[in-house]
Amino acid sequence: MLVILLSLVALILFDVAALYWGADSRETFDSREWRNRVSYWSREAIMPGR
């Protein structure tokens, strides 16, 4: 339980630090690319070849 709590606090601190330094960790190129791939895969699963 303590390990989970400490890891959550560390993640929040890293996210705040990234926002402070001007890099929004939720909107990096990799996250946008991943989101585009997931939406493409979901469209292909619903309507293949379209």
pTM to 2 decimals? 0.39
Residue 50 CA to residue 4 CA, distance in Å, equals: 43
Query: In this predicted structure, what is the pLDDT of residue 15?
Result: 78
Domain layout of the chain by residue ranges: 24-50
Residue 34's pLDDT is what? 67
Q: pLDDT tens across 1-50, in order?
A: 888 888 888 888 887 777 666 655 555 556 667 677 777 777 777 777 66
pLDDT at 40: 72
Residue 13 is predicted with a pLDDT of 83
CA gap 50, 39 in Å, rounded: 13
